[in-house]
Amino acid sequence: MKSKTFRCVRPATLGSAFTLIELLVVIAIIAILAALLLPALASAKSRAWRVQCASQQRQLGLGFAMFASDMQDQLPAASYYVNDYRQLAWDTWIYRYIGGTGPDNVLNIALVPTLYAPKIEKCPADRMPTLESDPLWGWVDYGLRRTYAMNSVGPDWGTESWVDASQPLPDLGVPGRHGLGISWTGPGVGGFPDPDAKGYKVSVVKDPAGTILLVEQPNIQNVVGNAWPAFCNGPYGSGDLYQLDPAPDAKNFGNNQYGLHGKRFNYLFHDYHVQALKIEQTVGRGTLSNPKGGWTVAVGD
């Protein structure tokens, strides 16, 4: 019978354990590394959101292109407003071209239900919450938010924004006019927005690569299918129809969202390419409150 050999294990001495000072040093090093890495991770996430947003805008651009191809080269209007419950917007005109699956009867009621709201209409960086408990804006479900708006014809009511539908298309050659986002108002057809509302021909844009079609305009009211604010008057101004609104109580989230794209917005141009630009890069010889450059159909301004 074999005899067993027993080994005596020497217990760890006090000197082999971590001291409190050593533990604190390790924790401090981890904290420093985390502080160095977190900004890089946040920047990477922001870039990923911007790339995804650009991809979504390109898909929307294809929707515009297919719509125009089926409509003798006519682009959709930015919106048509009959009343608070009967509206059409650019995204409902191109709805079938961007994968929309909702029935026709949900497309002219001002709010396309969240279930049928195309996900590509909300930039992933547009993360401002909408609280159902909010007594004023509780009706705005987070899921039906829309980030994008058409470059409007111009800032003047009745002549460039929400024009009476009985009037002709505004002349884009008039100084101060912007893009192709015409917004109509009127009785419509049978009390509903006119599905055949007038829009501009693609050919009116002489510099497609230098003229903005769609901008980012995060606003608590900017929701799928809604006429307001389906169009944008420029990068900076007071009210809902601008990317940035200086008012501290602005419903426009541009002031907040601008930082999430590294101080840039994504812009879809009429040749359907997308660029991330600082707002100052879009105005040409104009100003932030009176833009030219990419905001107008004129060449070389």
C-alpha–C-alpha distance, residues 236 and 182, integer Å:
19
Instruction: Tell me the torsion sign for CA atoms 107, 58, 269, 67.
Output: negative
C-alpha–C-alpha distance, residues 52 and 124, integer Å:
7
Q: How large is the average pLDDT for residues 161-165? A: 93
pLDDT at residue 148 greater than cutoff 90: yes
pLDDT of residue 89: 97
Kindly indicate the confidence band of residue 90, based on its pLDDT and cuts at 50, 70 and 90.
Answer: very high
pLDDT at residue 35 greater than cutoff 90: no
Higher-confidence position of 250 and 124: 124
Query: How high does pLDDT run on average in the chain?
Result: 86
Structure-block tokens of residue 287: 């100003």
C-alpha–C-alpha distance, residues 209 and 274, integer Å:
10
pLDDT of residue 294: 96
Kindly indicate the confidence band of residue 23, based on its pLDDT and cuts at 50, 70 and 90.
Answer: confident
Q: Which of 38-42, 48-52, 195-199 is predicted least confidently?
A: 38-42
What pTM, to 2 d.p., does this model score?
0.84
Q: How large is the average pLDDT for residues 170-190? A: 94
C-alpha–C-alpha distance, residues 218 and 254, integer Å:
6
What percentage of residues in the chain have a pLDDT greater than 70?
A: 83
